[in-house]
Structure 1
Amino acid sequence: MPELVLPVSVEAPQERVWAALTDWRSQGRWMPATDVEVVTPAEEGVGVRLAARTGVPLPWRRGRHLGVLDTMVVTEWEPPRRVVVQHTGRIVRGPGIFELTPTAAGTDLVWTERLHLPFGIVGRLGWPLVKPAVVLGFRISLRRFARFAATYAG
Structure 2
Amino acid sequence: MAVHIATLPDLDAVIALRLVLHRLGLASDMETLRAVQVGLPAALERREALPGVPPDPAPTAGTLARATLALLAEDPTSRDAALWAVEEARAEQAERDGLTVVVGALVVIALRTEVLIERHPKKGVTIRFHLKPISDPLLRNVFSQLLGLFSAAPPGQDAPPPELPQ
State the TM-score, normalizing by the size of structure 2: 0.32
Higher helix share: 2
Higher strand share: 1
State the TM-score, normalizing by the size of structure 1: 0.33
Q: Which protein, 1 or 2, shows the higher relative CO under an 8 Å CA cutoff with sep ≥ 6?
A: 2
